[in-house]
Structures are given as structure tokens and as C-alpha cells.
Structure 1
Amino acid sequence: MVAFLLCIADIFTGVGIIISISINIGIGIIIIIGIIIIIIIINVVNDTVVILDITVLIRPLLSLSTTDDEIEKEMANLNDRDGEDGDQTTNEVEPDENEWKRFIDEMKYSKALEYVLQNAPVRSKHPEKKKKAAHMALSTMMKIKQQEISDVINSIPPSLRDTLMKYVYRGFESPKDYASSSLLVWHEKVLAATGLGTIMAWYQKVITLTSRKRGFHLITDEILQHVPEIKNIEIGLMNCFIQHTSASLTVNENAAPDVRKDLETIFNRLVPEDSSYAHTDEGDDDMPAHGKCALIGPSISIPITNGKLAFGTWQGIYLCEHRNHNFDWPFHEQVRILKPNNQIKELHTLLRDRTTSRSDFKFYADRLIRLVVEEGLNQLPYVEEVFSFIGHYFNGVRHEKGTLCVSLMRSGEAMEKGIRECCRSIRIGKILVNTDENVSKVIYAKLPPDVHQRRVLVAYPCVTTGQTVITGLNVLLKDYSCSQSNIILLILFSTPDGLKRICDLFPDINIVVSEINPIAPNHFGQKYFGTD
């Protein structure tokens, strides 16, 4: 009879468990379906991409009907599946056991611990590697005397102390293997040395951005140069705040320069500059700048994932400068820089790389020269021409004849090929300048006598101090009576200081340059002609 009752009780208990699990799973499925429907509605209404961390939704649902061990197994499976679709190019590191043992045998425990922390496989998908590294770190910590712990922690770089604290917590999970009393001392000392930010690290910096003229400017690379700490952050958030009331920050298209130009047009239409504002203390652009700043905002927040800003493919950080007079442009308005794009940036990279072969160097240099020459030709005057073509009239243009090219020898001769490819019949004059310790001397000059009546393209690829170019321009202006307004200077690379010297001395010449950078590739001429 007792056995029969126990059997009946087991049956009812089993049925109750099955019903409970079924109800909980059913509730979970309903919740998931509801969330998916809401996300779809949000996507349709806002036309945005919603990035959802599935672990946030799945974990509370699993807890309705599974044990803690099963949850951990399921979460591990999710992480493994995420890794299959993730970045396979991440180079996993792990400490070499022989190297670690060498430090241990030499009783260099501090070095051994730092070595393990530097090579900790924190991003590895292999539990065994993590377990092995944790054992190395904790075994080393157990060998260090308690009175030496503070000195060891202070010798470890702050960026590694987060990993150290994680290993301390890992040690608490195995009290049989690692002494809890010692780990408590480690915990206390790490916390005292690093503060509450041991597990959640905080970095704060005040940076000064390069001055820029009014408009929308891509500044992602400039910001990243100031915050190398991002590389050490696996999961985090970067917040940027600008201390300004007439400039703002936003995230937008990082590739097409026309987007930045169009955004300036859009906001000028939204907030026009007119006499309808009461606040005009600093001019007509004063209050409109404040209005644009209020619309866009002074701050942005960007997720950090695996040491990188978690941008979409086409996203970048914009500085939005809304005032006219906030920008102290060191060069006059006649300086034209080639519109930046990935093609030009790649050419700059390859021409700076000293491992680039000479034949490849010439090929890439000729490509860049052609781009600069084409932009220089755009600055020439053109005359309209109408002609009939198969019964149809076409309104066309031709540039005025008589343009002369002057190459500043010897580097300038590298640009002659690109100029002839664009202007087949152009005449070319030459000026040879010898510059020694910033003292320049004209060695040779051969130009047509009517050069003062012509438009002149002056070619010189790489400007550092500007002394050679200044001397060559003085020959044209003083010896041949050329007008500054008739001269177009074609430069591939220039330092800011060198270009500013040229602009200050010759404010009316037109200048086309592909890049302004404090470090110019001075090996250009030697590499191009094979004399390096």
C-alpha cells in the first residue's frame, strides 16, 4: 500500500514538473516572439539597424526551467557560436610554459607573474588555455611573500592589474589549490593600488584638436592617436565631449567627402544666418552656431569591442565647426588640397614605405603626380567654345593656350612625365637650385623669354623648409617679371612650416598639394631616380 501511494505521488510530481517546465518554456517563447515583433516594428518605423546582444534575453529565460550548471553550459555554447561567426583574424596569445618556468627557477617571481599577465589568453575560445594560464599566475602568486606583494603589484603596469584581479577571483573558486588567506591579501593590495577601477577601468583625457575651418570634418584618426588605451579594452564605451558652444560632435559617413559638404548645406538651410536673432554679439554666425550645436549635441558615445571602436563600415567621428572666425588657417585661401580618399591615402602609404621596390615606387608616384597635375589644370582659365556635332550644338570649353611648365631640378623633373601626359604639347623650362644648410643658389635657369606672358605650372614634389621653392619662385618673379597670380605651384608632399613660408612670401600664387604633414618623405627624388 505504501509503495502504491509513493508511486502515485511520483507520478503526480512528475506530471507537475512537466507542466511547470512546459508553462515556463511557453512563457519564454511568447516573450521572445513579442520582443522580436517589437524590434521589427521599431526597424520599420525608424529604418535603423538594431544590434541586440542575445545573451541579455536568453539568460533570464533559461533560468525559468534550467539549473545554474545548465545555464553556464548553454552560455558557453552561445559564446562558442558567436566566435564561429566573429573575427577569425584575432591572434590569440598564451604564456609559454618553458619561459615561465625559467623565471620560476631563477626565483624571479615578479617577472614570471608579469610575463603571464602580458600573455594572458583573455580572448581565447579554449578553456584549457585559460585554465593553464590561471594556474601559472596563481602558482606564482602563492610563491611571493606577503610583505613583498605591494612592491610586486606596483611594478606591474596598471593596464595588467585588471587581469591580475580576475586571476585573484579565479583563485577563490579553488580554495583547495590556492590559499584563500594569501588571495585575500592580494585582493586588498590590488584594490589599494588601483582603486575601484580595478575591474572596470576608467581613462580620462583632455585633448586639443587641430583647428579647422567652418564645416564638418572627419577626426576619427586624430582622436584614436590620443587614446591608445583603447587597444587594451575588451568591452567598453568611449565618450567624447567637446567643451564648446558653437561646435559639436556626431557620427556619420567616413568615406565620401561630399557628405560633409552636404551636411553643411543642410544645416545652413535649417538654421539660416540673418538679422532675426537677438543674440548677435559676435556677428551674424553667432546665434546660428549655437542653434546648430543644440541640434547636433556636444557629445557622442561609441562602444569598444576587442580593442577597437565598434563602428559600422562607413562610420566615423565628425567635428562640426559652426563659426567662421574660429579657424586660424595658416595658409591662404589659394591653397588647394586634394580631396582625401582611400586611394590617395594608399598612395601616400606606399610612397612612404621604404620597402616599396623602385619600379613600384615610380608607378605609384606617377599616379599621384597625375592626380595633382589634373587638379592644377583645373585652376587654369578656360574659354567657352560652341560647335556643331552631327547636327547638334555642344557648349564646351578649352583652356587658354600658352601654358608653361617649370620644373625645379632635380626632383621636379620627376613630375614632367605626368604633366606631358596631361598636356602633350606643353613647353617645359628648368631651374636648377642648389640648397645647402638653408642657403640656396641658382645654378641654372632656362626659360622662354615670354614666360611673363604665360600661365606657369611650377613642379616640385616634396617641400620641407620651402627654401628651394622660394628661390625658384624668386627667379620667375624677379628675373623674368612673372606675376604671382599667373603661377600655379604643384606639390605632392609638404610640411606645414614649409608651406606657410611660401604662402607668407607669395600670397597670390595658386598652390595644389596632395598632403600636408609634419613629416615629408624626403627620399622621394632619390628613390624615383634610383640614386638612393
Structure 2
Amino acid sequence: MTNQLDDKDDDLVNVVEPDENEWKKFIDEMKYVRALEYVLQNAPVRAKDPEKKKKAAHMALSTMMKIKASEIPDAVNGIPAPLRDTLMKYVYKGFENPKDYSSSALLTWHEKVLAATGLGSIVRVLTDRRTMTWFQKFITLSPKKRGFHLITEEVLREVPEIKQIEIGLMNVFIQHTSASLTINENAAPDVRVDMETIFNKLVPESNSYEHLDEGSDDMPAHAKCALLGSSVNIPITAGRLAFGTWQGIYLYDKVSKDENEPTEEIYDDHFPKNVHIMKTNNQLRELHTLLRDRTTCRSDFKFYADRLIRLTVEAALDQLPYIPCSVITPTGHCFEGLRHEKGTLCVSLMRSGEAMEKGIRECCRSIRIGKILINEGHVIYAKLPSDVHRRRLLVAYPVITTGSTVLTGLEVLLKEYQCRQSNMILITLFSTPDGLQRICELHPELTIVVSEVNTVAPNHFGQKYFGTD
């Protein structure tokens, strides 16, 4: 019989409830999963009597506390799907009484029930309580060094709305492919140091990976992200995050350790004469600083990057051959000047090289641009004019770390299109000395123009410029 009359008298609607003796029988036999399923099957969900509901909730929760953490996944999967929403209701009921039931155990139950039922279970539970409210916020964390960082308080400062929520769930998601979130020890800083050591042993940095375009630490960071994940879910109870006693939110940041140590800037005398490192001045130094500053927003980053690109392109154009010419001025005078030889082509090494195309077109408005797409050392796509071997080439790629991408692109031009080293000018914004030296050794006739050579290159350049960081 259903309660279509919404009668407050439980006896009139035949409300079921678990029999305590039957429940104790399962408990005494240590059949805890069967005891829990029995309570869920007979849960007084339609009852108006709060004591009946309280008693059933206690039976369910005390049973859940008896099941070992390692056995919870099997317990959840063994419970019939129609009963799992009721199980989630009791999990949230437990969060309302953190002194009576272990928060860490409840978090495990919450995680496993959520995995089995999806977000829909939470929506149904909260909707049934008629307290459904959604908040969404984008927050920016303060700059962090490489390693594990406790960010609980920083997150809480950004979402004061939590205080308005009696019971709910907070999902924290990081929009990054080489940084991660997890929940762990919030008291001892040593744990975070040891976590970094453990993960570095699990996924060591080396040059043995295929993906090296952004440094030897980048691919390991992607792998660590896959191990830890990009989000965490934390229950909310009475306006507070329902953590266990020693739990907090960890951010794992993969920033190269070198970026937190003094850097060394390298000058022309370290390289052959065909390498032209732009002379540092205050303007150039400021641009290098702003592009390395982690607090620089993307729109500002693009603006400063475009400025630096244009300055570097202007310096590269000075390496082209020029021929004497005469022009007549508006006042009728003859002026003896110079004009660069026509036939220059730009080759953009995609995708980072595409960031430099705008600056090149602003300096050479009618220049043709060919493209070579390289992914993890393999050429995916190349589109160049048929007469590329007869032209002078401006090869554009913004950041050189190991030099692998540039070397692959040069190999395509030299072997497949019969271009000459002496006809090429490599334009790059930043380079490490090792990457630059490697290119110089393999291509001694190649002209290179770079705005800065430093032991630490801003490997985030391409991601930040295109907004994929």
C-alpha cells in the first residue's frame, strides 16, 4: 500500500522497518554484508516517525563500520542496484554525526558507492532532501614550487559558499595535464617530501621518452597525473568538509626543479659565430621576466610573447642577404640604400612554431609560410612549396630544450626537399645551451638567431600561448 494520502500515521501506510533481532542474527554470524543488505531492503524510507528512521540508520551505519576498508568495493558491488541510493542516504546520514561514525570509513563508502552509481545517486539523494543547490567556481592557486602541496585552506578561502551547505559534495578539478590532486596526510610535512621521492622513483626523469619537446620532466609529469588523477570529491557536512582526522587536499605540481634554482644565462662566446644571441637590454629582460612569471594571465602572455617574437624576427631579418639600391625621395633626392633579396620562405614547425607566424607576417607581409607537423619525433604532415630548395628559409620554433623537434624538421628540409643549411635561418625565442649545442654540432652551417640562451627554458610557452595549459 502506498502513501497516496500522505498520512502521518505510519500504521496506516504499512511502513516497513528492519527487525532488530533478525539484524543481530546476521551480525552475530559476522555476515555483515548480508546484515547491511537486510537493513537496506527494509529501510523505513516512507516512515514519518523519526525514531524509526534513526534506529534503521544506526543499524546500517554500525554495520558499515564493521566491514573492512578492503572489502567495501565488493560489498557495494554485491548490493542490488536499486538499494544503492538508500545506501548513499545512510552515508550522508553518517556525515551528520561525525563523532559517532568514522569519517575516513564513510569517505571510502562514499567513494565506492559514487563509483558504482555515478553522480546521479547524489543528485537523487539531495533532491529527495529538497536541499539541492549547485555552486561552480573557477579559482587560481598561488604559484607553487615543484612537489606536493597542502591546498585545503587555500581552496576553502575561495569557496565560502560551503558554509551555507548543510550536506553536499564538493568536486575539485584541475585543468592541467601535468598536475594532479589527491587526498592525504595534512599534519606532517615529511609525508609530502616522501611522496615526491616515491613518485620520482616510480616515474624517473630521463631522455628515454619519445615526448621530450618540453623537457625531460614533462612526460613523467603526465604519467604521474594519470596515476593520481585530476579531481577529488569531498563530502560536506554542516558547512564543513567532512575530512577524516588527518586528511587534506594535495596539489602535485611538476614544475621543473631547475626553475626554482638560480639560472645561468649564456652568451655568444660559447657558440660558433653563426649563432646570434640578441644583446640583452632592459626591454628584452622585462619580456623574458613576464613570460616566465606564473602569475601572468594568458592575454598578457600572448601580448608580451608577440612583442618578443617580433623583436627576434627583426633580428633574424638582419641575417638575410641585402643588395644595394637607389630610391628617389619625395623631395626629389636620390638615396642610396639596401633591399633584401626576394624569395624568402618561412617554415613553421607546428604546433609551437605557429605562435611565431603572426610576428613574421607583420615584418614580412607577403611572405609564404610552409608547415611541418612533428609529434614525438615523427613527421605527421608537411606542406611546402615545390621550389623550397631554391629559397632562403626562416625556420620558426619558439623554445628549444633537447632540440629533437628542430632536428627532425631540419632533417625533412635537408633530405626530403634538398634544402641547404647555408640557406636557412633558425629563429627561436629561448634555448637551453645543450639543445643549441646539439643543433650546432649537427648543422654547423645553419644560422641561428635566439633572444636568450639559458639553462632553464620556459617549456610552458606553447601551452600558455594557445591556452592549453
TM class, shorter-chain normalised? 0.3 to 0.5
Higher share of residues assigned helix? 1
> Which entry has the higher C-alpha Rg, 1 or 2?
1
